[in-house]
Amino acid sequence: MSAEKELLVEDRGAVRWLTLNRPEAMNSITGQMLSDLNEALKSADDDPDVRVVVLTGAGRAFCAGLDLKQAARGEGIGGAGLATAGARHYSTREICTVTLQRMDTPVIASLNGAAAGYGLDLALGCDMRLMSDRAMLMPGFAKMGVVPESGGTWYLPRLLGWAKACEVAMLGEMLNAEQSESYGLVNAAVPADDLETVTTEWAEKIANNAPLAITELKRLFRHGLTQDFESHSHHVLMSVLNLFRSNDFREGVQSFAEKRPPKFSGD
C-alpha cells in the first residue's frame, strides 16, 4: 500500500487495522485524513467480515490533533479554510467521533504515542483504549484557547465524573500511561514493545466471540446512556429474545455442552 496515503487500511483476519499515516507530522490531521478515516470507519461497520476495528498511528505519535503549522499559515482545518470548505469536516456527517458513536462494530484505540486535541477526542470516541507506557494524553485545550471540539466535553464527564473531568480539562496537564489508567481514561497501560501484541490479543478475543451479541452489547450500552432503567430493561429483553433465535446462540450452547471452542457465523 502506498506510503503517501494518510490512512492505511489492513485486514488481519476479522480485525481491520486503521493507521493514521503522517508520521513526519505526528499524524496531525488534515481534511483528507478526516474524510478518509470517516469513510473507512463507515465501511468497516458495514462489512460483516469485520468484527473489530483497531485505530492506531504510524511512527511515534497516535495523533497530535490539528496541524498547527498549517493553522499558523492560515491553511488546513485549523486555518482560514475552517470558515469555508473546511467546515464540512465538522458537520455531523463528517465528524469521525460521531461516526464512532454510531458504529456497532467495536473499536479499540491502540495508543502508540501522544494523543492531543482532535487525536484525544478520537481516542475517547473508541470503545476501548490500550496505551503504550511511552505515550501521553494531552488535554491542553484550555491552554490553546479552545475546547475539545469533537466529543471530549461529552466523554470526559461520563468516563471520569464531573469533578475529575473538570480537573483534567481545566488544568490541561499531560497525563502519562500510569495516570491515564488510574483515572480510567484507558483500559490498560502496556509496555511499548508489547502494545501491538496485546492489542491483537484483545481484538482477536472479541472477534472470536459471537458477533451478534457484541453488536447488541454496544447498541444497548449506547441506548442505556439515555434510557431509564425500566425502559432499558424492556429493550434488553427484546434483544435477548431475538438472540435466542440465532444460530450463534445455538452454537454457543452446543459448543459449551461439547466442551469445544465455539465457531460463530454471525447469523
Tens-place pLDDT, residues 140-183: 887 777 787 788 889 999 999 999 999 999 998 999 999 999 99
List beta partners, residue 111. Answer: 131
Poorest-pLDDT segment among 23-37, 55-69, 137-151, 209-223: 137-151
The CATH fold assigned to 7-207 is: 2-enoyl-CoA Hydratase; Chain A, domain 1 (3.90.226)
pLDDT at residue 71 is higher than 80: no
* pLDDT per position as a tens digit, 94-119: 689 999 999 999 999 999 999 999 99
Q: Compute the distance between CA of residue 185 and CA of residue 38 in angstroms, rounded to an integer.
A: 23
Side-chain half-sphere CA neighbours of 77 within 13 A: 21
Cβ neighbour number for residue 132 with a 10 Å cutoff: 26
* Region 240-246 average pLDDT: 94
Tell me how many degrees the CA angle 108-109-111 measures, rounded to the nearest 5: 145
**pTM for this structure?**
0.89
CB of 220 closer than 8 Å to CB of 240? no
Say what the pLDDT of residue 76 is.
55
pLDDT at residue 2 is higher than 70: no
Supply the DSSP string of 185-249, one letter for each residue: SSSEEE-GGGHHHHHHHHHHHHHHS-HHHHHHHHHHHHHHTTS-HHHHHHHHHHHHHHHHTSHHH
Average pLDDT along the chain: 89
Say what the pLDDT of residue 86 is.
45
- Residue 241, classified by CB atoms within 10 Å of its CB into exposed (0-12), middle (13-18) or buried (19+), is exposed
- Residue 148, classified by CB atoms within 10 Å of its CB into exposed (0-12), middle (13-18) or buried (19+), is buried
Poorest-pLDDT segment among 66-70, 177-181, 208-212, 245-249: 66-70
Nearest alpha-carbon partner for 29 in 58, 65, 3? 65
Poorest-pLDDT segment among 90-94, 109-113, 196-200, 217-221: 90-94
**Residue ranges, CATH 3.90.226.10, the chain:** 7-207
Say what the pLDDT of residue 95 is.
82
**Residue ranges, CATH 1.10.12, the chain:** 209-257
Say what the pLDDT of residue 146 is.
79
- C-alpha cell at position 143: 491552554
CB of 246 closer than 8 Å to CB of 265? no
The matching CATH number, chosen from 1.10.3470, 1.10.730, 3.10.20, 1.10.12, for 209-257 is 1.10.12
